[in-house]
Amino acid sequence: MDSNSYDNATIAAAIDHTLLKPEARAVDIDRICDEALEHRFAAVCVNSLWVPRVARRLSGSTVKTCSVVGFPLGASLAAATADEARIAIDAGAHEIDMVMSIGEALAGDWDAVRDGIATVMASCQGITLKVILETCLLTDSHKRLACEVCRDLGVAFVKTSTGFSTGGATVADIELMRSVVGPNMGVKASGGIRDRDTAVAMLWAGANRLGCSAGVAIVTGGTGTEIY
């Protein structure tokens, strides 16, 4: 595997161009929308506050509007996260990235984890749902069980990371997640993807979506600093 295994268009089509920092301003949101339109990224991923603006800016294009919910801790009431998802969808979001209840997963309360995801999934009413596992906080056993829960519920994607914890995506985690969910479910690598070689490594390992804010640098062959 090398960085020529995927062309720029293929890589770009897998990128969720992301800006989740609390200090993001309207001008920053407009910039990432324009970059996504120029490079034909898969989506622009933002906090729900910015969904109406992003949806308007991307209107009529193939670039999707994606909102995070229950972010970044995964410690909100499931009903509150579900409401945030519903409101974001009503405001124009095409995709929702939710954070799994990490504490309940670590405690082994998988019924609660499942119920929480199912509650948000019901609120999405068929809109693409990605579930963030925050893999850096989990053992491999937790990761497998979380993927099994998401697979069995029919979630569209499992996703590695928020980008706000102690680590991001790894090739090993992508391989593990893909091995559990099978060939047809989505796997999103997120966090720490700053250059083309890393992006290609994640795709090669089994990711079919990349969450990153260095997307422009990745598809133009440069390097970038993530600005989650």
What span, in angstroms and rounded, lies between the C-alpha atoms of 206 and 197? 15
pLDDT tier for residue 228 given thresholds of 50, 70 and 90: very low
* 98-114 mean pLDDT: 98
The one catalytic residue in 64, 143, 159, 173 is 159
The residue with greater pLDDT, 227 or 193, is 193
pLDDT tier for residue 210 given thresholds of 50, 70 and 90: very high
The upper half-sphere exposure of residue 144, i.e. CA atoms within 13 Å in the direction of its Cβ, equals: 6
Q: Model confidence over 146-157: pLDDT tens digits?
A: 999 999 999 999
Is 97 assigned a catalytic role?
A: yes
Is 130 assigned a catalytic role?
A: no
Whether residue 96 is predicted with pLDDT greater than 90 in this model: the reply is yes
Whether residue 226 is predicted with pLDDT greater than 60 in this model: the reply is no
Domain boundaries along the sequence of the chain: 3-219
The 8-class DSSP code of residue 63 comes to P
CA distances from 14 to 25, 63, 91 (A): 25, 11, 24
Q: What percent of the chain has pLDDT over 70?
A: 95
What span, in angstroms and rounded, lies between the C-alpha atoms of 75 and 162? 13
Whether residue 78 is predicted with pLDDT greater than 90 in this model: the reply is yes
The one catalytic residue in 64, 97, 130, 173 is 97
User: Reduced to 3 states, what is the DSSP secondary structure of residue 209?
Assistant: strand
At 221 the pLDDT is 80
Is 143 assigned a catalytic role?
A: no
Token couple for 179: 């091995």
What span, in angstroms and rounded, lies between the C-alpha atoms of 224 and 34? 17
* 61-79 mean pLDDT: 98
pLDDT tier for residue 2 given thresholds of 50, 70 and 90: low
Q: 61-73: string of b/e by CB count within 10 Å (b at 16+)?
A: eebbbbbbbbbbe
Tell me what the pLDDT averaged over the chain comes to: 95
The pTM of this model reads 0.95
Whether residue 1 is predicted with pLDDT greater than 80 in this model: the reply is no
pLDDT tier for residue 5 given thresholds of 50, 70 and 90: confident
The one catalytic residue in 64, 130, 143, 188 is 188
* 157-175 mean pLDDT: 97
At 13 the pLDDT is 98
The amino acid at 152: D
Please give the angle made by the CA atoms of 2, 224 and 192, to the nearest 5 degrees: 70
At 227 the pLDDT is 45
The amino acid at 119: T
Whether residue 3 is predicted with pLDDT greater than 80 in this model: the reply is no
Q: What is the CATH number of domain 3-219?
A: 3.20.20.70
The amino acid at 190: S
At 222 the pLDDT is 60
